[in-house]
Structure 1
Amino acid sequence: MDLTSPPAPPADPLGAALHHLRMDGAWYFRSELTEPWRLDLPPMGDCLWFHVVTAGRYWLSVPGQAPRQVSPGELVLVPHGQGHELWSEPGLPAPPVIQDIPHEYVSERYAILRHGGGGKSTSLVCGAVRFDHPTGYGLMARLPRLMAVADPALDATLRLLAAEARELRPGGETVITRLADVLVIQAIRSWLGTDPAARAGWLGALRDPQVGRAVALVHREPARAWTVASLAAAVAMSRSAFAARFTELVGEPVMQYVTRWRMHVAVGRLRSGEVPVAVVARELGYLSEAAFSRAFKRIAGVSPGSVRRAGPLAGLLG
């Protein structure tokens, strides 16, 4: 690959990372609940669960976390797909939401759920979404186990979502799911701007004027035959200064990170089960399937074939 004309680094590396947070919705549902009620949400593998309360209040319990009450204006994310419970009050039996509660399916992936004892009402819009880009699932691995976001920047989107949820008009399912996706991205953006954990590793490095642009280049063109020298030249730094600053900010040497990111991309390709390992190897610039497989096992600890057989492996690359 020609290294004489390296691509121009993005002016906003953090914005470029957010641009790649494309979601593949696994399932969305609108819940109309009346007290007393309790729901058991199942584990969803590599999905991110979200819950938006559009009317009323509820309690949420995630294993290992203290229960918390959620009010209108708050968006709750369960980023690692853990099973969890929602309830109007403690001590109630929890029927599995998918198996035991009737749903009115508006489309294959959108349902309306009605449940409860006829008392005070609570309305929720919930869903489980996957990211379909390595930036997305690389970022998800760094998110906390539970996120509750109450950011004024989300208010306008929350109001739109609540208005659509009150009465499902023609096309309402599409509007609700798109608004839900926007809310998830807004919540992650809020977390990036406020949580100290977002300032570590490659996420934190994106804020550096030069190393951030180099990281964004690797993310944009993982198959390019990058070297420490070519990345340093692309961001107008000397090789030695760039290598030292990259390791300091990202937490690992340049080429180790390049390889690790290629394996993130590989997981995304392999998890579908549709692309042969040899094709993935060629797409990422490896001259042979054997060389790719060795690199993958060194980084991931398992063979590429085991990823295909086991399906998505949450947190595989940390």
Structure 2
Amino acid sequence: MFRARSSGPIGRPGCQTGRVETPWSVAPPDALGEALHHLRLAGTFYCRSELTAPWGLTVPPLPGHLWLHVVTAGGCRLETDGADPVQLRAGDVALVPHGAGHRLRSAPGTIAPSVMDLPQTFANDRYSLLRHGSGGEPTTLVCAAVQVDTPGARDLVELLPPLLHVGASPRTEWMQATLRLVATEAEELRPGGEAVLTRLADVLVIQVVRSWLETDPAARTGWLGALADPRIGRAITLIHREPARAWTVASLAAEIPMSRSAFAARFTALVGEPALAYVTRRRMHLALDRLRAGDAGVAEVAGALGYRSEAAFSRAFTRVIGTTPGAARRAGALTPR
């Protein structure tokens, strides 16, 4: 049902020196903007739900996915572990970012069978219509299960709270136009409708995350706080732009500019790991995505990420990822796309 797309950190022995242009070299000018820029989604599955009270639905856990719920008419209660229940109304958007199971109900305590056990009409393998309930007050939902498609985006998603909720208000009128497009496309899946819905999901998820970044103080701690820091955020942006460049602590500090010791201490304090550990981990996650895609061999990926030696690359990859590059590539070849 879900198909993942694959997409296309430094200064270690075995890496080339100097700037190396790679397919991952293009990035927007700021670190937070880059994180949102790379928030690409894949494997989208949509369900339009026409529900009448009393009704309830249980959405089972789906690791590696985000669930997006848009209320286009009526309202419901959303319950998920680790967060307080929220009441959703028409025009509201909710994001369950970690693939956790959750429940949607017309009212507290309503029986909520698994959506997997309810009859659905499938227009294709990516879109279904679900009708459920007991004939009372109607509610219409558009729900999407999506996968995050880039390493930078996964770093961001890991930091999101268990539930993000953006309610309809004059302040969020900028989101309502997107919601109206979602409702229109979901009512009747016209030619090209799947592509439109996928792009709209990208936009909605970014809008929800951006709203959280702007309004929640918790969004400015840890790695996200580091992105917002003018100096360390710039260093992270440079690493993301040029993952194959032979970075050292000294060369990163010179770009900021900061003293080497002050930069090293501030980077570790804000990000939670030393700069060179971060850039190596970033490179290996890029390599993992490329190997899983199966469009390049180990030597090619190693070279694209600045390694002169395939052996040096393999050692770094195995240390960070926990498996060999060859095994990762073979596992990707066995994954349906």
Say whether the fold is shared (TM-score over 0.5). Answer: yes
Bigger mean CA deviation after superposition, 10-19 or 126-135: 10-19
Aligned-partner SS, 1:111: strand
* Amino acid of the structure 1 residue aligned with 2:68: F
Aligned twin of 1:295: 316
Aligned twin of 2:86: 68
* Amino acid of the structure 2 residue aligned with 1:137: R
* Amino acid of the structure 1 residue aligned with 2:35: A
Aligned-partner SS, 1:206: helix
Give the conservation status (yes or no) of the 8 Å contact 1:30–1:112.
yes
Bigger mean CA deviation after superposition, 13-22 or 43-52: 13-22
Bigger mean CA deviation after superposition, 217-226 or 274-283: 274-283
Question: How much does 1:135 deviate?
Answer: 0.8
Bigger mean CA deviation after superposition, 80-89 or 4-13: 4-13
* Amino acid of the structure 1 residue aligned with 2:256: V
Bigger mean CA deviation after superposition, 111-120 or 79-88: 111-120
Query: Does the C-alpha gap of structure 1 residues 165 and 27 become closer, same or farther in structure 2, counting only changes over 3 Å?
Result: closer
TM-score by length of 2: 0.79
Aligned-partner SS, 2:230: coil
Question: How much does 1:266 deviate?
Answer: 3.0
% same residue: 60
Question: How much does 1:39 deviate?
Answer: 1.8
The CA deviation string for residues 141-170 of structure 1, in whole angstroms up to 9 with x for no partner, is 111111112261423322332344445555
Give the conservation status (yes or no) of the 8 Å contact 1:58–1:87.
yes
For the residues of structure 1 that align with 2:305 and 2:253, how far apart are their CA atoms? 21
Aligned twin of 1:85: 103
Give the conservation status (yes or no) of the 8 Å contact 1:104–1:111.
yes
1:128 partnered with 2:121: no
Note the 1:38-187 alignment, pairs <5 A.
38-105=56-123, 107-150=124-167, 152=172, 153-187=174-208
Q: Which runs of 5+ in 2 are unaligned?
A: 1-15, 333-337
1:246 partnered with 2:267: yes
Query: Does the C-alpha gap of structure 1 residues 118 and 179 become closer, same or farther in structure 2, counting only changes over 3 Å?
Result: same
Give the conservation status (yes or no) of the 8 Å contact 2:294–2:329.
yes
Bigger mean CA deviation after superposition, 132-141 or 216-225: 216-225
Higher relative contact order (CA 8 A, sep 6+): 2
Question: How much does 1:86 deviate?
Answer: 1.5
Question: How much does 1:79 deviate?
Answer: 0.6
For the residues of structure 1 that align with 2:290 and 2:271, how far apart are their CA atoms? 25
Give the conservation status (yes or no) of the 8 Å contact 2:120–2:128.
no
Query: Does the C-alpha gap of structure 1 residues 271 and 199 become closer, same or farther in structure 2, counting only changes over 3 Å?
Result: farther
Aligned-partner SS, 1:26: strand
Query: Does the C-alpha gap of structure 1 residues 269 and 196 become closer, same or farther in structure 2, counting only changes over 3 Å?
Result: farther
TM-score by length of 1: 0.84
Bigger mean CA deviation after superposition, 14-23 or 157-166: 157-166
For the residues of structure 2 that align with 1:177 and 1:70, how far apart are their CA atoms? 22
Aligned twin of 1:12: 30
* Amino acid of the structure 2 residue aligned with 1:133: T
For the residues of structure 2 that align with 1:76 and 1:91, how far apart are their CA atoms? 20
* Amino acid of the structure 1 residue aligned with 2:132: H
Q: Which runs of 4+ in 1 moved over 6 A?
A: 4-9, 308-311
For the residues of structure 2 that align with 1:81 and 1:247, how far apart are their CA atoms? 29
Aligned twin of 1:220: 241
For the residues of structure 2 that align with 1:268 and 1:206, how far apart are their CA atoms? 23
Aligned-partner SS, 1:3: coil
For the residues of structure 1 that align with 2:17 and 2:93, how far apart are their CA atoms? 46
* Amino acid of the structure 1 residue aligned with 2:151: P
Q: Which runs of 5+ in 1 are unaligned?
A: 312-318
Aligned-partner SS, 2:115: coil
Query: Does the C-alpha gap of structure 1 residues 161 and 102 become closer, same or farther in structure 2, counting only changes over 3 Å?
Result: closer
* Amino acid of the structure 2 residue aligned with 1:134: P
